[in-house]
Amino acid sequence: MPLLRRYALIYREYVNNCVAEALSYRLHFVLLIVMDLLFYLSLLGGVDFLFQHLDQIGPWNRQAFLFFMAFMIAVEHLHMTFVSENFWAFSHDIRTGKLDFILLKPAAALFIVFFRAMRPATLLLGLFPWGLLGWYGSQLGLLWWQWLLLPPLVLLGLALLTSVEILISMSMFWLVESMGINFLRMQLQQLSRWPDFIYGYFAQKFFGLAVPVLLVGSAPVRFVLNPHDTSGLLWLLGLMGLSWLLTAFFWRRGLRAYESASS
Amino acid sequence: MAGTLKAEWHKWWATVVINWRRLLAYKLNFLLLVIGPVLVFFFIRYQVWAGIYRLEGVDTLQGYTFEQMLAYQVWVMIVGFLALGFNGMNLAEEIRLGRISSYLLYPFGFWPFQMASFLAFQGLQLLVATVTLLAVWAMGWVQLQPLALLQGFSLAACVGLFWFQANFVIGILAFWLEETWVLRVMLVTLSQFFSGALIPLELFPKALAQALHWLPFPYLTYMPVKVFMGTYTGSLWQAFAVLLLWTLLVFGLARVVWRQGIHNYTGAGI
């Protein structure tokens, strides 16, 4: 418990710093909000235009499909707020040797590397994705226990997406220029924005098991819509655990390979 | 006169060669940064459309058979290779940290330097696009018509020029803004959606599709794609004229922004 409290206090300091920094550049702050809104609207708009010509795609009608999109937007909103900035900083730190200073700090380096930066402007948009989720959820007539499941399932989707991305980021230790890895991460996010049944057999297997980004939204949403369908969630939990083990392994190997450019 | 031209040519060529070396120094990074996103974008589009046609058992969607939709998405990928550049990505950092001071000392203007870098990048992209095109042609996904190819490549070159100027002007806004990548992402998001890169404009609501013709977006993807496919029914001259007009507008804006910006520039770190 004291350990958790200690890390909560460290995180509070990081949040305070990020808020102070974000408020120093007000125009950038506002532009970030506009950018996120445009992104969310373009995601929903694309699907909405498709359903003007179709009644159903696979097992889902317009409401179910847009509910899935809203779920993914909620996951990505939290991801963009609390996690995504850190990956860009990690690549920069390895290249410039700034990682040295993080390794010297009296706290778990993995925690500092992946949770030190957040984007307060995006946090302000929180009502939008949850409002969407509520709107499309109510159109599907969700029951009270299905509503209760939504927040933990969004967090679970976020945890899987973040775990997979952290594992992929370990490759930055071996690549001198890692901007491309961050672009690869963003491509994987794009893949996860469509339900798994859209993809062909091999793509479903590869992105559902080897790089399990398709489970981020598809497994939780299927579970909400049909609580008997637990297989996706079990895979999600199992593969997330595996990714943590692999991250721990590659983190240690990566640190050994790290050349520390500044020293 | 000939000597001056020769000296200019040497500067441009040297910049192009240096940029080729820089871009290809980290080959995996180049692959992931430049080629990867366009390929993944195509992969997702392919999967989504194949899924829609397969799951719903539809033969045509707003006049597109699956084969035509696949060809459309292939050409979107080719236009993406030919037109979307990455220049201006580091401009904000270079301005903020005062690094452009060294460029200002070069015996080569800042805009020509950026332009030569852009041409180097486009040269590589042309190679990637050609190899990709030959591969998809061999698979029978697209048909190649010499005249359509010539017109399409020309139009895509104009789109590339527009993107270069747009990225340049956004980059030099860093004279006033802390970060400019947000503006770039906003423009890319808007253009991907409204240019028909995600879904063809025929699937848009009619009123919106008509309104879009007053903006540059359809000219950035939809029209070059239609020209490549040989199904563009509008005036080609008008498409060129509109694109060049927008490019000139952004070029003029860039000149004004540069002049004002360089006037304000304090050269941090000097």
Round to whole Å and give the CA distance between B92 and A54.
Answer: 44
Where does the pLDDT of residue B214 fall: very low under 50, low under 70, confident under 90, or very high at 90 and above?
confident
Q: Which of B33, B56, B189 minimises the CB distance to A42?
A: B189
Nearest CA in chain A to B192: A42
ipTM for the assembly: 0.84
β-pairing, B60-61 vs B64-65, is: antiparallel
Instruction: State whether B205 and A27 contact (CB < 8 Å).
Output: no
Range B48-52 average pLDDT: 89
Which residues from A are below 8 Å from B30, CB to CB? 180
Handedness of CA A63, A214, A202, B76 (dihedral sign): positive
Q: Is the pLDDT of residue B98 over 90?
A: no
Q: Residue A60's beta-bridge partner residues?
A: A57
Burial label, B131 (beta-carbon count in 10 A; 0-12, 13-18, 19+)? exposed
Q: Is the pLDDT of residue A167 over 80?
A: yes
Q: Which of A45, A176, A194 minimises the CB distance to B44?
A: A194
DSSP for B72-134, please give it: HHHHHHHHHHHH---TTTTHHHHHHTTTHHHHHHSSS-HHHHHHHHHHHHHHHHHHHHHHHHH
Round to whole Å and give the CA distance between B63 and B65.
Answer: 7
Q: Is the pLDDT of residue B210 over 70?
A: yes
Q: Is the pLDDT of residue B72 over 80?
A: yes
Which residues from B are below 8 Å from A180, CB to CB? 26, 28-33, 36
Q: What SS3 state is found at B60?
A: strand
Q: Is the pLDDT of residue B8 over 90?
A: no
Interchain CB contact of B199 with A (< 8 Å):
yes
Handedness of CA B107, B111, B116, B121 (dihedral sign): positive
φ/ψ of residue B64, rounded to 5: -100, 120
Mutate: best of A187, A204, A206, A211, partner B, most B CBs <10 A: A187
Structure tokens given for B199: 């879904």
Interchain CB contact of B186 with A (< 8 Å):
yes
Give the largest CA-CA distance in chain B: 67
Instruction: State whether B29 and A177 contact (CB < 8 Å).
Output: yes
Whole-number pLDDT of residue A262: 62
Which residues from A are below 8 Å from B96, CB to CB? none
Round to whole Å and give the CA distance between A64 and A62.
Answer: 6
Burial label, A19 (beta-carbon count in 10 A; 0-12, 13-18, 19+)? middle
Range A238-251 average pLDDT: 95
Which residues from B are below 8 Å from A36, CB to CB? none
Domain boundaries along the sequence of chain B: 34-264
Round to whole Å and give the CA distance between A133 and A126.
Answer: 11
Nearest Cα residue to A215 out of A149, A169, A254, A158? A158
> Å from B213 to nearest chain A CA?
18
Instruction: State whether B31 and A180 contact (CB < 8 Å).
Output: yes
Whole-number pLDDT of residue A263: 58
Interchain CB contact of B59 with A (< 8 Å):
no
pTM greater than 0.90 (yes/no): no
Q: Residue B60's beta-bridge partner residues?
A: B65
Contact B77, B158 (CB under 8 A): no
Nearest CA in chain B to A200: B47
Q: What SS3 state is found at A61?
A: strand
Helix, strand, coil percentages for chain A (3-state, nearest 5): 80, 0, 20
pLDDT, tens digit (0-9, with 9 covering 90-100), for A195-236: 999 998 999 999 999 999 999 999 999 999 998 889 999 999
Nearest CA in chain A to B196: A46
Whole-number pLDDT of residue A198: 92
Domain boundaries along the sequence of chain A: 2-257
Number of H helices, E strands in chain B: 13, 2
Which residues from A are below 8 Å from B41, CB to CB? 187, 190
Whole-number pLDDT of residue B103: 81
Which residues from A are below 8 Å from B189, CB to CB? 35, 38-39, 42
Whole-number pLDDT of residue A154: 96
Round to whole Å and give the CA distance between A146 and A224.
Answer: 6
Q: Which of B32, B47, B185 minimises the CB distance to A203?
A: B47
Task: Return all residues near B81 (Cβ < 8 A) that are at least 6 apart.
Answer: B35, B38, B125, B128, B129, B132
Say what percent of chain A tops pLDDT 70. Answer: 98
Which residues from A are below 8 Å from B204, CB to CB? 49
Where does the pLDDT of residue A1 fall: very low under 50, low under 70, confident under 90, or very high at 90 and above?
low
B187: left (phi over 0), alpha (psi -120 to 50) or beta: alpha
* Residues in A lying within 8 Å of B, measured between beta carbons: 25, 27-28, 31-32, 34-35, 38-39, 42, 45-46, 49-50, 52-54, 56-58, 175-181, 183-184, 186-187, 190-191, 194, 197-200, 203
Q: Which of B28, B36, B56 minimises the CB distance to A56?
A: B56
Q: Is the pLDDT of residue B95 over 90?
A: no
Instruction: State whether B48 and A194 contact (CB < 8 Å).
Output: yes
Q: Which of A27, A178, A180 minimises the CB distance to B177?
A: A27
Which residues from B are below 8 Å from A203, CB to CB? 43, 47
